[in-house]
Amino acid sequence: MRYGEYFNETHEQMRRSARKFIESEIAPYLADWEDAELFPRELYAKAAAAGFLGLGYPEEYGGLEADIFHRIAMTEEFIRTGSIGLVAGLFSLNIAIPPILAMGTPEQKRRFIPPVLAGEKIAALGITEPNAGSDVANIETRAVRDGGDYVVNGAKTFITSGCRADFVTAAVRTGGPGFEGISLLVIESGTPGFRVAGKIRKMGWNASDTAELVFEDCRVPAANLIGAENQGFMAVMQNFQDERISMAVMAHAAAELAYETALKYTEERSAFNRPIRAFQVTRHKLVDMATKIEAAKAFNYKVAASIAAGEYPVAEVSMAKNFACEVCDKVAYDAVQLHGGYGYAREYLVERIYRDTRILSLGGGTTEIMKEIIAKYLQY
């Protein structure tokens, strides 16, 4: 389906720009970046200059006004690099900047946002801790006010782009226990007491760096507090909505890439003197993959359209993430299966898609957390 109600010629032109950018700036080097477990920092500036990093942000901060489907079209095209981790790393600003944009003062926005949209600085989001992930209300990193500063102690983990981030939009505890004691603080990496404790090696997302961060008596100016003190929880929750619908889109786009790759392979690969697609079992498997992808896509677009229309569909966003991730898991599995042994080999794209998509139903809130959210909204 063409989904003409969501995408027009401007989205199509933007896809072309993205494809050209990927073809010349990413595709030739991607295998090396995956092996090196990092992509070069220069890519941020290049992606910014080509108009991708600032997409959807206000012009006054160096952004490019866009609708939600421009962002979706861009995500879909970048996922077609076949490196979901690259997309997560390159666009980590899209989880780190929105809280600043939503709740920051004009001065904070002018200070933090433009350098990131220009690709000069890297922004990361710091929520998850060794002992608290989706359970944001129980984070333990503490920020104690002392004169004009907050003194931060604690640790964050699984922080995408954390190893080389110039700042982290971090959730910290400034008040008592529970969700009412949480604030958002921009912690700059050069601050004494800020330390990258390690780069986490992972099953997938190898092109992006994932960090464990430690704060030891890290003095952060109170001017870096985003929004009012102890009002951070709602901002984190709101931000999760964007992240989750974006991950749902990543999932359907990755599934589609896996499907198309398998489709091509089943035409080229012969067994028992015929292309394996000539077997009914193969065709039916492919059809099941295509059906699931189409349903996930249509639902994701529908939910995105409702967000664009100003609704706040919390249950549906969680449903979209769960459904698309489940589809993606199954499709990636079947795409590997259709490749036989080659599907297990690094040389073949589906091998990476299989590894890179496993995180989608863990990050941004696990499938189980999504289900709890949905149950709550459906008032069970």
Partner 1 sequence: MKIAVLIKRVPDTASVFAINPDQKSVATDKLKFVMSPYDEHAVEEAIKLKEANGADVVVVSLGPDSAKEVMRTALAMGADEGLLVTGAGTDSLTSKGVAEALAAAVKSIGAELVFAGKQAVDDDASQVAERVAELLEMAHASVVTKFELNGGTAVVNREIEGGSYTLELPLPAVITIEKGINTPRYPTLPNIMKAKKKPIAEKSLADLGLSAEALAPGVVLESLSLPRQNRRNHIIDGDTPARVNELIRLLKEEEKAL
Quickly list DSSP for 329-342.
Answer: HHHHHHHHHHHGGG
Query: Smaller CB distance to partner 1: residue 69 or 167?
Result: 69
Phi-psi region of 161 (alpha: psi -120 to 50; beta: other; left: phi over 0): left
- Smallest gap from Cβ 348 to partner 1, in A, equals 19
**Strand duo 167-173 + 123-126: pairing:** parallel
Interacting residue with partner 1 among 3, 5, 13, 284 (CB under 8 A) = 13
51 interacts with partner 1 by CB under 8 A: yes
- Smallest gap from Cβ 23 to partner 1, in A, equals 9
Query: Smaller CB distance to partner 1: residue 37 or 67?
Result: 67
d(C-alpha 115, C-alpha 105), whole Å: 16
Query: Smaller CB distance to partner 1: residue 65 or 368?
Result: 65
374 interacts with partner 1 by CB under 8 A: no
10 interacts with partner 1 by CB under 8 A: yes
Which residue bears the tokens 């003062």? Answer: 105
Interacting residue with partner 1 among 16, 41, 283, 284 (CB under 8 A) = 16
Query: Smaller CB distance to partner 1: residue 71 or 297?
Result: 71
Query: Smaller CB distance to partner 1: residue 139 or 253?
Result: 253
93's CB contacts (< 8 A; 6+ apart) are: 53, 116, 117, 122, 123
**Residue 215: half-sphere exposure toward Cβ, Cα within 13 Å:** 32
Run of H or E residues at 184? strand 182-188
Query: Smaller CB distance to partner 1: residue 77 or 356?
Result: 77
**Strand duo 182-188 + 194-199: pairing:** unpaired
Which residues are catalytically annotated?
A: 243
| Contact stretch for partner 1 (CB under 8 A) within 16-24, 110-118, 253-261, 353-361 | 16-24
14 interacts with partner 1 by CB under 8 A: yes
Q: How many residues bind partner 1 (CB under 8 A)?
A: 17
- Smallest gap from Cβ 119 to partner 1, in A, equals 13
50 interacts with partner 1 by CB under 8 A: yes
d(C-alpha 179, C-alpha 173), whole Å: 9
187 forms beta bridges with 168
Residues between 54 and 113 that touch partner 1 (CB under 8 A): 55, 59, 64-66, 70
For the chain, the distance separating the N- and C-terminal CA atoms, rounded to the nearest angstrom, is 35
d(C-alpha 251, C-alpha 318), whole Å: 13
Give the number of other CB atoms < 10 A from CB of residue 268: 9
Interacting residue with partner 1 among 3, 5, 20, 311 (CB under 8 A) = 20
- Chain residues binding partner 1 by CB under 8 A are 9-10, 12-14, 16-17, 20-21, 50-51, 55, 59, 64-66, 70
